[in-house]
């Protein structure tokens, strides 16, 4: 019996286009139908490598009946417009994070997805990594006891030229890991933050930021992100999660993971790519072809943005911990 496959198309390419292409290759029920990028020279190599055509316009892509799922891989500023057009065309949407710049934009996407009866899933690859999913199961089962603390360390050195393509570190980097915190530990009660300007001479946005959150049970979560530090000990960047409870802990980096509770240590071997493969497999096999809901939702995106907005307010006003208004 032949498997039904879901046809996908990319809007935008960039670095993540490669990862999404590899993810489709790994999933037998996915196939790449085509790619559209405003710069055709960027679209053509991706289409050639992973199969599919190069579309002359976004409308041509959306008019193609073979496309069921649109991967929105464009810069943040065009996420909303692209996703709304895809939903209006009756396509499911997998949209890179952060999803949108404002809460109202997220609410608009939620409404449009409901009206179209289509999925709009944030592409939060970290929580679809097998090791993070295992960490979630251990936490939920109580194997680690009462959670005491969560530490997230992320660093990728950027020149000023590259950093200029991004917005705020809080908005475009820390927010990725706020998703992970929400997935693993739930909503924080209070939030405070700091940011700094160490490396760049011309940019007006921060190159480092740190968020501290207090969870309902008293656990403290610390998230630190930097574009300024140059860490030669990791390639291509530093990612470290550590979760400690009263009965054990989890330590995850971008290429390995360790879990330990009172039964002894166990090792997993996740890869950064596994998260992209996991999110594609989950959305296609469990959501589109199945009847499950996504692990990452637009409601999560709303919560994550509210947490970051609260952190920004704490920095701007110089106040201490602020309560998050959900």
pLDDT value, residue 30: 97
Helices (H), the chain: 14-26, 40-50, 58-63, 79-88, 103-116, 130-141, 160-163, 169, 175-185, 272-281, 298-317
pLDDT value, residue 266: 45
pLDDT digit string (tens) for 104-150? 999 999 999 999 999 999 999 999 988 889 899 999 999 999 999 99
Buried b (16+ CB within 10 A) or exposed e, 102-125: eeebbebbbebbeebebbbbbbbb
CATH of domain 6-123: 3.40.50.720
Residue 201: pLDDT band (50, 70, 90) is confident
To 5 degrees, how large is the angle CA 275–CA 280–CA 281? 95
> Is the pLDDT score of 259 beyond 70?
no
Domain boundaries along the sequence of the chain: 6-123, 127-275+305-323
Which of the following CATH numbers is that of domain 127-275+305-323: 3.20.20.70, 3.40.50.720, 3.30.70.330, 3.30.360.10? 3.30.360.10
């Amino acid at each position: 019996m032949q498997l039904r496959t879901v046809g996908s198309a990319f809007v935008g390419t960039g670095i993540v286009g490669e990862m999404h292409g590899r993810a489709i290759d790994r999933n037998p029920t996915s196939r790449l139908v085509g790619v559209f990028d405003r710069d055709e020279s960027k679209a053509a190599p991706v289409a050639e490598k992973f199969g599919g055509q190069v579309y002359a316009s976004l409308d041509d892509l959306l008019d193609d009946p073979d496309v069921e799922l649109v991967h929105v891989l464009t810069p943040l500023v065009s996420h909303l417009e692209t996703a709304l057009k895809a939903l209006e065309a009756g396509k499911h949407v997998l949209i890179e994070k952060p999803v949108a710049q404002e809460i109202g934009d997220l609410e608009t996407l939620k409404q449009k997805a409901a009206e179209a009866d289509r999925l709009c899933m944030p592409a939060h690859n970290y929580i679809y990594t097998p090791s993070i999913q295992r960490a979630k199961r251990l936490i939920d089962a109580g194997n680690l006891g009462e959670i005491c603390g969560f530490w997230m360390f992320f660093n990728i050195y950027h020149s000023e030229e590259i950093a200029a393509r991004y917005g705020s570190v809080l908005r475009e980097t820390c927010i990725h890991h706020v998703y992970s915190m929400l997935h693993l530990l739930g909503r924080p009660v209070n939030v405070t933050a700091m940011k700094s300007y160490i490396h760049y001479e011309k940019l007006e946005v921060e190159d480092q930021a740190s968020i501290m959150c207090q969870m309902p049970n008293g656990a403290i979560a610390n998230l630190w992100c930097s574009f300024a530090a140059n860490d030669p000990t990791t390639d291509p960047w530093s990612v470290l999660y550590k979760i400690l409870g009263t009965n054990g802990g989890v330590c995850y980096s971008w290429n390995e993971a360790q879990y330990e509770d009172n039964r002894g240590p166990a090792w997993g071997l996740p890869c950064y790519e596994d998260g992209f493969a996991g999110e594609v497999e989950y959305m296609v096999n469990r959501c589109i072809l199945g009847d499950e809901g996504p692990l990452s939702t637009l409601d999560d995106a709303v919560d994550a943005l509210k947490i970051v907005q609260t952190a920004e307010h704490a920095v701007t006003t110089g106040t201490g911990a602020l309560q998050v208004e959900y």
